[in-house]
Structure 1
Amino acid sequence: MVDHETWGDGQATTTVTVDGHDLEVAYHEDGPETGDADDEPPVVFLHGIPTWSFLWRDIVPAVAEERRTIAPDLVGYGNSAMHDGFDRSIRAQEVMLEGLLEDLDVDRVVLVAHDIGGGVALRFAAHNPDAVEQLLLSNAVCYDSWPVEFVSELGLPSTADLEREELEARLESAFVDGAYGEADPEFVAGMKAPWLTDEGHLSLVRDAVATNTNHTAEIDYGAIEAETLLLWGEDDVMQPYDYAERLAEELDDAALAPLSDAYHWVPEDRPDAYTDHLIDFLK
């Protein structure tokens, strides 16, 4: 099992332009160098808040045995640009994704997304229906399902003035309480790590402030053509299963796949089942 430092050391970087700002994007890429995978669209993994691409540490390796995988850190997250002065909303993250795929010469993808990464994926799929072959959403923000209280509190001005120990305690509580059963210490440590610097602390506040329900309320969900799997942790209170059912009704080609014994961090709670569902979906 890879730790967060090894994952970070394995990332590449590129620069994309978002709203006139040149921003560095860190991404983890894996997969066969040659062979049949060249004929298949890469699988792109999108995380949410307050996570980074390390969320996919247990899912990517099995998929990368057969398919090219790309797991970026959203701008303002992980090892991507964190400095002040740019938008971190899911609208801006959609622009980042477009720029990253263009830079990597990718014109068709499978999107696998969690939390606000799901909102990014939904926007991208609605605006670029020909570019998304398949879409797998897990406990994703949609409609008016967000922001949740924990994230709203991170966006309070007072959060920027928290002592580092208090910020760390809040984050640890979120990752421990949002997991099903006993949280893996390496998962918790890895998820906290990007935020425990001065730049990361302020960036987290900016990320939380940028959450905006309007960015999913305005989506034309009927424009999404991709085959969709809603692989949803049933016991999540942050992005309840009711929203998966609503998406299933509105999307043209969507199937529900509830995962029991899973809260919000569903790729972490049920990695084996998650991987099995994803690989079956890709066949």
Structure 2
Amino acid sequence: MEYDTWSTEQESATVAVDGHDLDVAYYDAGEGEPVVFCHGIPTSSFLWREVATALTGEYRVIVPDMIGYGNSAQHDGFDRSIRAQEAMISGLLDQLDVGPVTFVGHDLGGGVGLRYAVHEPEAVDSLVLSNAVCYDSWPIETIVDLGLPSTVESMSVDDLQEMLDEMFREGVVGEADDAFIEGMKAPWNSEEGLISLSRNAIGTNTSHTTEVDPSEIEATTLLLWGADDEFQPISYAERLESDIPDAELVGLDPANHWVVEDQTDAYRRELRLFLDNQTEGISN
């Protein structure tokens, strides 16, 4: 699927976050138990295109662009931290009258899921974390540098596109799919996109994961991790497995940080197995 096609299938809602009314773009399809997918930085909901759409025959699938990302609000003047993204998720699901959910998060989206599961345990029945930021594992130097005003002031849109191209190609095992690369770069191919991504980068705050205790998570949790990740090593998943009371780690190998792209078929298979087991448990 191309990025433009994905974008045309999105809906839009206005969600209040910290007193700001912000446009949130999201994909919403299927019926059944709700599954919410949340991406990270510097991706968008397009990351989940091959996984989320495969579940719509059995589940209701909701895939938002975080604020500051994708086709959601990118203008200046609001917080883009995972604390704010958590508030956006809560507000969006309230509007859609959805809950409780299975929450699936990658990278920063995993950090959002950690916080949401701790703060609103009644809203999260089950949790899937993939190469997620956690503890003090983040941010990486590239993202910190991107958030510096001096960096964005000296960078052109073409410079950013080149940097992202390299990041996404190096973050997969083997040869990256061109549709994936172009789709990941598309939201940032403008001056507004450049500034928005820089604001997103400066909003990465380690305190927002170090302040929550994973041992307080009540949701059944699957840690579906790319085993070869240099950004969020599997050792952090092992720590989460030890700390979360009901957690299982499944490492996918070979897979780097963009595990959803590296191991799409295996990711879908493991996720569906987990979801089906949870649904069966609920029905019993």
Q: Could you say which residue in structure 2 is the equivalent of 1:128? A: 120
CA distance in 1, matches of 2:86, 2:11: 20
| Structure 1 position 268, deviation (Å) | 0.6
Give the gaps of 5 or more residues in structure 2: 277-284
User: Which residue identity does 2:214 align to in structure 1?
Assistant: Y
Matched, 1:189 2:182: yes
> Counterparts in 2 of 1:184-263, with a 5 A limit?
184-263=177-256
Q: Could you say which residue in structure 1 is the equivalent of 2:74? A: 82
CA distance in 2, matches of 1:168, 1:222: 39
User: Which residue identity does 2:178 align to in structure 1?
Assistant: P
1:142 to 122, 131, 134: 134
Per-residue CA deviation, residues 93-123 of structure 1 (Å, 9 max, x unaligned), is 0000010000000121000110000000000
Matched, 1:47 2:39: yes
| Structure 1 position 61, deviation (Å) | 1.7
| Structure 1 position 165, deviation (Å) | 1.6
User: Which residue identity does 2:187 align to in structure 1?
Assistant: P
User: Which residue identity does 1:207 align to in structure 2?
Assistant: N
CA distance in 2, matches of 1:104, 1:59: 21
CA distance in 1, matches of 2:26, 2:131: 22
2:261 to 268, 273, 281: 268
Per-residue CA deviation, residues 68-102 of structure 1 (Å, 9 max, x unaligned), is 00000000000000000000000000000010000
Q: TM-score, normalised by structure 1?
A: 0.96
User: Which residue identity does 1:5 align to in structure 2?
Assistant: D
CA distance in 2, matches of 1:181, 1:133: 35
Give the gaps of 5 or more residues in structure 1: none
Q: Could you say which residue in structure 1 is the equivalent of 2:22? A: 23
Per-residue CA deviation, residues 205-255 of structure 1 (Å, 9 max, x unaligned), is 000000000000000212210000000000000000000000000000000
Per-residue CA deviation, residues 146-202 of structure 1 (Å, 9 max, x unaligned), is 001121121121332212221111010100001111010110000001011111110
Q: Could you say which residue in structure 1 is the equivalent of 2:280? A: none
User: Which residue identity does 2:202 align to in structure 1?
Assistant: V
> Counterparts in 2 of 1:43-192, with a 5 A limit?
43-161=35-153, 162-192=155-185
Per-residue CA deviation, residues 19-74 of structure 1 (Å, 9 max, x unaligned), is 00000000011114xxxx2xx2x000000000000000110122111100000000
CA distance in 2, matches of 1:120, 1:139: 13
CA distance in 2, matches of 1:61, 1:168: 27
Aligned pair count? Answer: 275
CA distance in 1, matches of 2:81, 2:232: 18
User: Which residue identity does 2:21 align to in structure 1?
Assistant: D
Q: Could you say which residue in structure 1 is the equivalent of 2:6? A: 7
CA distance in 2, matches of 1:204, 1:159: 12
User: Which residue identity does 2:18 align to in structure 1?
Assistant: D
CA distance in 1, matches of 2:251, 2:143: 24
CA distance in 1, matches of 2:62, 2:208: 24
Segment of structure 1 superposing worse, 23-32 or 66-75 = 23-32
SS for the counterpart of 1:122 is: helix
User: Which residue identity does 2:2 align to in structure 1?
Assistant: D
Percentage of matched positions with identical amino acids:
57
CA distance in 1, matches of 2:53, 2:188: 25
Q: TM-score, normalised by structure 2?
A: 0.96
